[in-house]
Amino acid sequence: MLPSISQTIRNLRFAEKYLTSKKVEKQVEKEEKPKEVKKQYMRIGMTEAQVKKYQITNIMRAGIQNSQEVCRFEKEMGDEVQRKFSLPPPRGIYIPYDVLDYGIGEKRQLAVSGTGGYLVQTDILGSSFIDVLTNKMLVKKLGATILDGLTGNVGIPGKLAMATAYWVPEATSPTPSIPILRQVGMSPKTVAAYSDYTRQLALQASLSVEQLVKSDLALAIALAVDGAALNGTGNDSQPQGILQRSDTLLYEIGDNGGALSLTGVIGMESKVADANADIGNLAYIFNSQTRATLKATPKFQYANIAVWEGETVNGYFAGCSNQLPSNLTKGDGTALSAGIFGNWSDLVIGQWGPGLDIIVNPYTLAESGTIRVVVYFMCDIAIRHAESFCNCVDIVTGNN
């Protein structure tokens, strides 16, 4: 039996009141919910006013004038980082994580061009140093896992063999299966990155200059981390990169190298799939020479579709970095290029410490009126499962 019109109206009014009250409750809950503070354990507890007062350019000016009085506040904050986290004395001054993870959050005028000698204005959204650093890492865009705020040595769990599943009759116990476990070790390694600025730029008390310096230093660190992750030697305190590993998968084109076609691309994918590792953040990375060649290589004969389309290769995201070598040799082949396909979430970037160590060198380039700003960043790189990556190191490109 259908409800009467009056009953229907009462039901609708009740529903309207109920939904309105719930909407109000959610709004109140949203307004009363405290703002989440990221990585609180890595901070020294600076107020927002203190963070805004902190200027890396003050440290630069102090280096030029050879007087720490210019950056007394920044030095006090750095000393607090050392005290709170029991760190060794810095080479220069510690920059607190509170500062590095603070974003301006509004549009500013950023001066860009060269090393600061010639400036043009453009609007930018002021991101934190940490955000800029992460976003500039190509391996992060490919899907690498970032672990930050680490202390001491770290062991990342991995497996050498999978557990086994069985079909069993009713009331019968399965055969015991114990996976073989291993630990992938990570320990802090220091990378030094630098950027050069004119003395005139360093003496500017400008928020846009401050953001420019942060962006430059973040890019320098990101390039160093990318280079180590892709092709680090593993020697001289440098992490070992994917291409230098002997236990990753390998796809070979020919005795003297050869052109990489759709068949080769599928071959790289199949190597990873055959190892049951084709899950997670699957992507390619090649250098610019290989990218140019793949963009001119049709997928099929007489097809008007290239192997590299937009930002994808055979349906997978593809990145480009000239930190992949183009000077490899094999047999009679020379000037060969390398490429990698894999599950990039199994590439782990570990970051240590609650801040950066920064030092200003006004002497090395003094004759040209330029100062050098050096930052020291502690990180390490590990691969959880070597079979998650397939290398190809004998690619002939259009430049051969």
The pLDDT value recorded for residue 42 is: 78
Q: Tell me the two tokens of residue 146.
A: 């970032």
The pLDDT value recorded for residue 118 is: 35
Question: Alpha-carbon dihedral of residues 338, 342, 346, 349, nearest 10 degrees?
Answer: 40
Separation of CA 176 from chain center: 40
The pLDDT value recorded for residue 159 is: 56
The parts of the chain modelled with pLDDT lower than 70 are: 1-41, 103-127, 158-166, 168, 171-182, 205
The pLDDT value recorded for residue 148 is: 84
**Whole-angstrom distance between the N-terminal and C-terminal Cα of the chain?**
83
Residue 184 parent element (H or E):
strand 180-186
At residue 13, the 3 state secondary structure works out as: helix
The pLDDT value recorded for residue 11 is: 56
The pLDDT value recorded for residue 120 is: 35
Q: Tell me the two tokens of residue 343.
A: 């599950």
Of 56, 126, 71, the residue nearest 357 (C-alpha)? 56
How many residues would you count in the chain?
A: 400
Residue 232 is classified by DSSP as -
**pLDDT tens digit sequence for 87-97:** 889 999 999 98
**pLDDT tens digit sequence for 334-388:** 999 999 999 999 999 999 887 789 999 999 898 888 999 999 999 999 999 999 9
Distance CA 80, CA 350 (A): 24
pTM of this structure: 0.77
Sign of dihedral through CA atoms 350, 356, 359, 364? positive
The pLDDT value recorded for residue 115 is: 40
